[in-house]
Amino acid sequence: MSHELALLQLFINFFAALFLLSIRSGNLISNRILAFYFVIFNLDISNFVFINFYNEHLNLEMLRCNLSALLAPTLYFYVRSVLHTDFRFKAKDWAHTLPFIIIVLTFMPRFYVVEDTALKLQINNNLQPSFELLFVHIFQYIQMAIYLALIFIVIRRNKLTILNSYSDELKLNKQWLSHFMAFFLVSFALALIRNVVKFTEFQNALNVITPIMMLAGLGFSCWILWQALHKPELFKGISSQLEKVRFPADNKKIPIGQASEILAKLELHMQSQKPYLNPTLNIDTLAEAVGIVAQDISSALNHHLGRHFFDFINGYRIAAACEMLASPDCSEKTVLDILLKSGFNSKSSFNTAFKKHMQMTPSQYRQQKLPAIFQQS
């Protein structure tokens, strides 16, 4: 079964990589990184299909295993390239190949440069205790854990930057990245279990674990390709430079007096000009309108009001929506009409924000308010 699943995955990944390299639209850097990931992944699982070839070329078999050390860094760069519109590779990024180089050097003395085929087979097939194999397995799982943490940090930093810069939830539509992390964690866990079992007396369990791992890998490949090609709107990133000036942890806390003045000025502008009715309002536009530095607005909201820009603007939008939902004059307007008039641009974002602020749905709020108003009138 593992052979058939591997063959299917090789086929899918091969044509996915070819397609990603051939298209000339969209995020070219992300497409190429994802194509590289598929190529490395194919090499990693190719031993299930080309068993005899690798048994005859043991150095290539070991190199194939060692190349898996490039998978986690590749996914890390893929996430960065998707989230940052200005992403470019730099010379320092070559440092991410160091784990692969260390692993190759570990096997160099007793594997790559020796002619003893019997020794190579023993090490490769785990027929005798091997310091190299044990070290590399531990090293690679530490590496994967580190890159999981790095990916999580990049995603979280990006999300917080968006919350502090935009009021449009479409910019925040990165739920697919949570699924991405979940898939990666499942694959990581299965690979860890498989390799722990490999060093125990329960090696027969590999006949069950390996097909499950192959299915997870196949699902991951299909899913990530679907997200990249079928939903390109999810891959609209922001400038990494924006994160450097907007990430709340980096914002300097301004004095209470200055923060109070900023918040009062914002309140006055919100009440008089109603900028929140613009569904694409961002902090730079608001900063220019009120004549306050965007970073000071962000600091006042984060540290003194305890809110992100995203929630701050949505608070006014929800208040406007509540006023219309509770008004008899708007009783014939649909919820869609009201959400559009209050500054939202999608029903899902409106429902989510409304429930967060009011602890009920828009329909429930309307049913609660309108009967009382009608009775009074």
Segment (H or E) for 292: none
Q: What is the pLDDT of residue 264?
A: 92
pLDDT at position 249 over 50: no
Average the pLDDT over 177-192 and give the result. Answer: 76
Residue 185, token pair as written in the block: 């964690």
pLDDT higher at 1 or 323: 323
**pLDDT bracket for residue 374 (50, 70, 90):** very low
- Per-residue pLDDT at 219 exceeds 60: yes
Q: Which of 10-14, 42-46, 263-267, 292-296 has the highest mean pLDDT?
A: 263-267
Choose from 167-171, 174-178, 208-212, 237-241 the range with maximum mean pLDDT: 208-212
**Whole-angstrom Cα distance, residue 210 to residue 238?**
39
pLDDT at 246 exceeding the cut of 60: no
d(CA 226, CA 220): 10
Q: Is residue 109 scored above 80 in pLDDT?
A: yes
Count Cβ atoms below 10 Å from residue 62 Cβ, excluding itself. Answer: 21
Confidence of residue 377 (pLDDT cuts 50, 70, 90): very low
The pLDDT mean for the chain works out to 81
Phi, psi (deg, nearest 5) at residue 303: -90, -30
Across 9-35, average pLDDT:
84
Give the integer Cα–Cα distance in Å for 320 and 362. Answer: 12
Mean pLDDT, range 316-338, rounded to an integer: 88
Give the residue-averaged pLDDT of 140-147: 90
Query: Do residues 12 and 226 make contact, with C-beta atoms less than 8 angstroms apart?
Result: no
CATH number of 2-242: 1.20.1070
> Taking phi first (over 0 means left), then psi (-120 to 50 degrees means alpha), and beta for anything else, what does residue 57 get?
beta
What tokens were used for 90? 């730099």
The predicted pLDDT at position 97 comes to: 96
Confidence of residue 100 (pLDDT cuts 50, 70, 90): very high
Same fold, 2-242 and 249-376: no
Residue 13 clears pLDDT 90, i.e. is over it: no
CATH 3.40.50.620 is held by the domain 249-376: no
For residue 228, pLDDT beyond 90: no
Comparing 93 with 309, the larger pLDDT belongs to 93
Region 325-346 average pLDDT: 87
Q: What does the pLDDT average to over 216-232? A: 72
pLDDT at 128: 62
More confident site: 114 or 250: 114
Every domain of the chain and the residues it spans: 2-242, 249-376
pLDDT at res. 168: 66
Asked whether residue 93 carries a pLDDT value surpassing 50, the answer given is yes
CB 327 within 8 A of CB 306: no
Q: Taking residues 295-322, what's their average pLDDT?
A: 88
CA-nearest of 250, 280, 285, 247 to 266 is 285
Written as one letter, the residue type at 368 is Q
More confident residue, 178 or 41: 41
Residue 166 pairs in a beta bridge with 282
